[in-house]
Chains A and B, each alone.
Chain A
Amino acid sequence: MVEKALFTIMLEGVFVKNFLLIQFLGLCSFVGVTKDVKSATGMSGAVVFVLAMSATVSFALFNFVLVPLKLEFLRTIAFIVVIAALVQLVEFIVRKHVPALYRSLGIYLPLITTNCAVLGAVLLNVMNDYNFVQSVTFGVAAGLGYTVAMLMMAGIRERSNIVNVPKAVGRGVTYAFFVATIMSMSFVNFFGVIPLE
């Protein structure tokens, strides 16, 4: 197998296989925390941090503990525990140093544990047999892609507050999904950027 270039991985993570719009990982926060740009920024920052950290830690855990012990089948359990611990750590830090952000993120901070994006990235790393640098790059790229989509969505929703929408669509989840449809349509066009194998 040809080693994937880091740039390819980066491009894939951010645009071609955007986690939110193409792979549907992490949709709960995508429709839940994008009512205003400020909380979307905070949430994205937290996710990028947790993603990069968990990509690093889980790589070490998988290759230095699970593989030598032949316990690969336990990877789901092991990874979710690592992520939960990291999220707890981020929560402590944010609560202590940025209390305003902590209040506005509310329930979504602990929910990063159950954010599919984080566990998804970690599992995809293992499934793709990425080496250490590739894993971390992929984690960061996935986080950046997540940020791009979150900020676009939050910007659109914030600016379209004055737009009239049918009552049945409302301003909640349904509206977000209509916006996501259009965003996703444009992201699908990135498929041509990297020739698929």
Chain B
Amino acid sequence: MNPLSEFIRGITKDNPTFGLVLGLCPTLAVTTSVENGIGMALGTLFVLVGSNVMVSAIRNHIPGAVRLPIEIIVIATFVTIVDMVMEAFTPALYESLGVFIPLIVVNCIVIGRAEAYALKNGVFYSTIDAFGEGTGFLLVLVLIGGIREFFGTGIIDPFGITVINASAVMNPAMFMILSPGAFLTISVLMTFVNYRKQQKAAKGG
């Protein structure tokens, strides 16, 4: 086990969305734009790191029977911090993410990692794992947000920086910004990922 491979594992093999298939609600709900995706992912990353560190630090003192309630309380505490910080410093983003900020509490990735990783590993590796998973989540949200924002509005401009402006050459499809667009985007991406996995398996890899 080395730190770098543990980090990369969170982005590739154990990617929250395509590997573990966890935390789908925010993945689909907030990705109407790259900006929302980044905001959501950073919030989740903070909660992930906080809860993984905390849970792994106290893992030898938690009785098995009550570990879930304790994990949930730890997570809820960090979510409350994110909630208050975002409300104070990024009110516009807070407004557009809405109910999904407090809902990080029930994001399966956070509790899944606390349960599957932080309970069994030391503080150092749990931190690395949290950063890996958080980064994997960030990349997925940016990808999906990018696809939806591009096809839905024709312009990708996170935080006021215009990355691509194609509104002159294409008519944006409202469909992609609405909920069916989210389902379509993720199903096509998942098909692609499955295809790659099967190709790899067929090669005997």
Write the residues of chain A forming the contact surface with B, with a CB cutoff of 8 angstroms.
Answer: 21-28, 31, 73-77, 80-81, 84, 110, 113-116, 119-120, 123-124, 127, 166-170, 173-174, 177-178, 180-182, 184-185, 187-188
How many A-B residue contacts, CB cutoff 8 Å?
112
B residues less than 8 Å from A110 (CB atoms) = 68
Chain A residues with CB below 8 A from B73, complex form: 77, 81
Q: A123–B194 contact, CB under 8 A?
A: no
Interfacial chain A residues near B103, Cβ < 8 Å: 25, 116, 119-120, 123
A76-B76, A76-B83, A180-B183 known; A119 and B198 CB under 8 Å?
Answer: no
Q: Is there an interface contact between A181 and B102, defined as CB atoms closer than 8 Å? A: no
- Taking the closest CB of chain A, its distance from the CB of B155, in whole angstroms, is 22
With A113-B72, A184-B183 already in contact, the answer to whether A26 and B80 are too (CB < 8 A) is no
Complex-state Cα separation, A124 to B103, whole angstroms: 11
Cα–Cα, bound, A21→B187 (Å): 14
| CA A184 to CA B184, docked complex, whole Å | 10
Q: Is B58 interfacial (CB-CB < 8 Å)? A: no
A168 adjacent to B198 (CB under 8 Å): yes
B21 within 8 A of A: yes
Contact with A along B161-175 (1 / 0, CB 8 A): 000000000000000
Per-residue A-contact encoding for B188-205, CB less than 8 Å = 1, 0 else: 001110110010000000
